[in-house]
Amino acid sequence: MAQLVEHGACNVSVVVPANNLCVLFLCAPVITILSRSHADRNVYPSAGVLFVHVLEREHFKGEFPPYPKPGDSSNDPITFNTNLMGYPDRPGWLRYIQRTSHSDGVLYGSPTAEHVGKATIIEITAYNRRTFETARHNLVINIMSTEDYPLPYQAEFFIKNMNVEEMLASEVLGDFLGAVKNVWQPERLNAINITSALDRGGRVPLPINNLKEGVYVMVGADVQFSSCLREVENPHNQLRCSQEMEPVISCDKKFRAQFDIDWCKINLVDITKVVTIHSNRPDPGTGVLPDIGEYNPPSESLKSRDFFADFLITLAVPSAVAMVLFTILGYSMCCRREGVDKRNMQTPDIQLVHHSSIQKSTKELRSMSKNREISWPLSTLPVFSQSGEVVPPIHPDNYETTSMPLMQTQT
């Protein structure tokens, strides 16, 4: 069953088999492939053309147990895991994104000519996060070759107000390719690749003002770049870009209504003029280790190693050195002391007598200070006790204090 739908500047042919839904852009200027399929099936993308495969949650809901109450609509969280059969990850050209567990997953990428004729089997595993049930389907990707691959003129646009899953939608991508067709006017125009700005080193946007992460879209055509696309290369616009100002592009209004393009990041490549530089670096390979058989552990007949000599060097030698140092220190501190008697013998007698007289005088003064009976002056005594009462004076009122000597030597 086929249905022809008008979309923008192109005709979109929707082919609906019994268990497959494939959307194919067949218009002359725009060619890209979108696939919406879930069950075990074959798809046939073309080399150098963007391939998109949507994993719809609605299809996988039938694979899981029904909702607890009959008649209730099921909105279970479902996530997907995709990998190449027999390997933990996907091929290098194929990427996958699913923003939340309540949104559809998307497989997308651009196969190259080296993948032509090789059937790629992708295992798709759906996880129901409510019941922990799983469902697995296989997707067989048969990459076909195209006569016009690769297109000689390629332009990469950076769209600031789009996320990658929004750009992968067939309607949005069709609108963008239609706008590019109007400003480029090619005979053949293909969407080659779509890349998130996060994969190019971009930052995660702040969760304010509905900011987007941005997306790079590469398209290819068979004619030279239009004058509008070349305007970004003139010196005036290059100066504005170096000053972080928007360049003046005449055809920007054809995109501005829906797509906010950063014209300073546009990349125009003419692959007919690109010089291939051959280096001596080895081929990076496919990333899959070769099969070298089973692991053979070392033989059990290996000779044991004697660690006694290592023990002596590690423990005994430092201990011996520490013991020698301890002996020298003990001899210097204990065996070389002169003592009090030897000190007195080497001290002159007059110095010893003088020192002894000083000690006796000090002891006598200390004993005399303990025997003083003179009361403290009134100025040094507290006026109030802790209870707040007035403390009576030490001397009676009739005591004559004027004749009291301040020191014992006064009369």
What are the tens digits of pLDDT across the range 96-114? 999 899 999 999 999 888 8
Is 56 contained in some domain?
Answer: yes
Is 6 contained in some domain?
Answer: yes
* Residue 335: predicted pLDDT: 78
- 225/244 same-domain check: yes
* Residue 11: predicted pLDDT: 36
Residue predicted with more confidence, 161 or 66? 161
Residue after which a domain boundary falls, among 128, 145, 162? 145
Per-residue confidence band for 307, with pLDDT thresholds at 50, 70 and 90:
confident
* Residue 83: predicted pLDDT: 93
* Residue 379: predicted pLDDT: 62
Domain that holds residue 141: 38-64+76-145
* Residue 123: predicted pLDDT: 93
Tokens describing residue 347: 């001290």
Taking all residues of the chain, what is their mean pLDDT, rounded to a whole number?
78
Q: Can you tell me the mean pLDDT for 238-258?
A: 88
User: Comparing C-alpha atoms, which of 180, 130, 131, 145 is closest to residue 159?
Assistant: 180
- What is the phi/psi pair of residue 7, to 5°? -145, 105
- 49/138 same-domain check: yes
Indicate whether 7 pLDDT > 80: no
- 59/139 same-domain check: yes
What are the tens digits of pLDDT across the range 118-147? 888 999 999 988 888 888 889 999 988 877
Count of domains observed in the chain: 2
Residue after which a domain boundary falls, among 273, 293, 310? 273
CB contact burial 171-190 (16+ within 10 A = b; e otherwise): ebbbbbbbbbbbbbebeebb
- 105/169 same-domain check: no
* Residue 106: predicted pLDDT: 93
Residue after which a domain boundary falls, among 129, 145, 161? 145
Indicate whether 1 pLDDT > 60: no
Tokens describing residue 334: 């204990």
* Residue 27: predicted pLDDT: 44
Is 7 contained in some domain?
Answer: yes
- 43/132 same-domain check: yes
What is the three-state SS of the chain? Answer: CEEEEEECCEEEEEECCCCCEEEEECCCCEECEEEECCCCEEECCECCCCEEEEECHHHHHCCCCCCCCCCCCCCCCEEEEEEECCCCCCCCCEEEECCCCCCCEEEEECCCHHHCCCEEEEEEEEEECCCCCEEEEEEEEECECCCCCCCCEEEEEEECCCCHHHHCCHHHHHHHHHHHHHHHCCCCEEEEEEEEHHHHCCCCCCCCCCCCCCEEEEEEECCCCCHHHHHHHCHHHHHHHHCCCCCCCCCCHHHHCCCCECHHHCEEEECCCCCCCCCCCCCCCCCCCCCCCCCCCCCCCCCCCCCHHHHHHHHHHHHHHHHHHHHHHHHHHHHCCCCHHHHHHCCCHHHHHHHHHHHHHHHHHHHHHHCCCCCCCHHHCCCECCCCCECCCCCCCCCCCCCCCCCCCCC
What are the tens digits of pLDDT across the range 149-201? 778 899 999 999 899 999 998 899 999 999 999 999 888 888 999 999 998 88
* Residue 37: predicted pLDDT: 42
Tell me which of 161-165, 208-212, 245-249 is least confident: 208-212
Is 335 contained in some domain?
Answer: no
Residue predicted with more confidence, 38 or 61? 61
Is 398 contained in some domain?
Answer: no
Place of tokens 């000689």: 152
- 27/111 same-domain check: no
What is the domain-level CATH number for residue 105? 2.60.40.10
Tell me which of 136-145, 258-267, 355-364, 375-384 is least confident: 375-384
pTM value is 0.58
* Residue 382: predicted pLDDT: 61
- 82/129 same-domain check: yes
* Residue 282: predicted pLDDT: 67
Residue predicted with more confidence, 294 or 14? 294
- 132/231 same-domain check: no
- 17/81 same-domain check: no
CB distance 259 to 159 below 8 Å: yes
Indicate whether 409 pLDDT > 70: no
Is 130 contained in some domain?
Answer: yes
Residue predicted with more confidence, 411 or 328? 328
Residue predicted with more confidence, 66 or 256? 256
Indicate whether 87 pLDDT > 50: yes
- 126/163 same-domain check: no
Is 337 contained in some domain?
Answer: no
Q: What's the chain's length in residues?
A: 411
Is 386 contained in some domain?
Answer: no
- 242/212 same-domain check: yes
- 160/239 same-domain check: yes
